[in-house]
A = this chain, B = another copy of it.
Amino acid sequence: MEKILHIISQTPLFRNLPEDDLKRIKHIAKDKFYNKGQTVFSEGDDGNGFFVVAAGKVKIYKVSLEGKEQILHIYGPGNPFGEVPVFSGEQFPANAQTLLKSHLLFFPRTAFTELIANNPSLCLNMLAVLSMRLRQFTLQVENLSLKEVPGRLASYLLYLAQEQASDVTVSLPISKGQLASLLGTIPETLSRILSKMGNSGLIEVSGGQIMLLDPVGLEELAETGKL
């Protein structure tokens, strides 16, 4: 019980709210538990609430008719997802599936809407969360349309280095197959590019551990896209 309150108080969405609000928020949250690889919701499902990751990892993705998958986001502890239908109505625009055994908090739409309508701070927090997400989509479109795969990979590695605050070695938080899908490509292509970047002395790969040997070169690659 205390743990949930702690999780809630940690997420950006609920940051800087008075104790009272946090209790009210906790009150409407429902625990949900999933094993690895389970579907949380599918594109087209009615969205009568959204989720916050308490523990584990979730991917949000689209699939083409031919079966190619594009990952839109990967969310870990503290991140909310599935809020779009809460505010715009209609169905979920994408699929959600756990990548690990996960503990999620579910917030039912009506209860949450009431809460937010009476809580300007919460509302502004939510606006900030959605804005950050728009900013991130902007980057994703830029990457997909204006950069080639090596450039996207370089960007991702630099992002990881910053995220993990370790500018020597980064460890991939997802499988290489999933990374390919996140970067908008396929495992074969990713594999080839990783080994090319290894040969050029930019990185050194050993399994999921990647040493960034030449951060400056990576920056350049991320911008120009020329390998």
Contacts and interface: CB of A to CB of B under 8 A. Distances in A.
A212 to B, nearest CB: 22
Interface string A101-142: 000000000000100111010011011101111110111111
Contacts of A87: 124, 127-128, 130-131
A58 interface: no
A184 interface: yes
Interface-central residue, A65, A113, A224, by most chain B CB under 10 Å: A65
Nearest to A86: B131
Given A135-B88, A144-B144, A65 B223 contact: yes
A27 interface: no
A128 B64 CA distance: 27
A73 B186 CA distance: 28
A70 interface: yes
A76 interface: no
A68 B224 CA distance: 12
A93 interface: yes
A94 interface: yes
A88 B142 contact: no
B142 A70 contact: yes
A141 B62 contact: yes
Contacts of A85: 131
A42 to B, nearest CB: 14
Nearest to A122: B123
Interface of A: 62-65, 68, 70, 72, 83-88, 90, 93-94, 113, 116-118, 120, 123-124, 126-128, 130-135, 137-142, 144-147, 184, 223-225
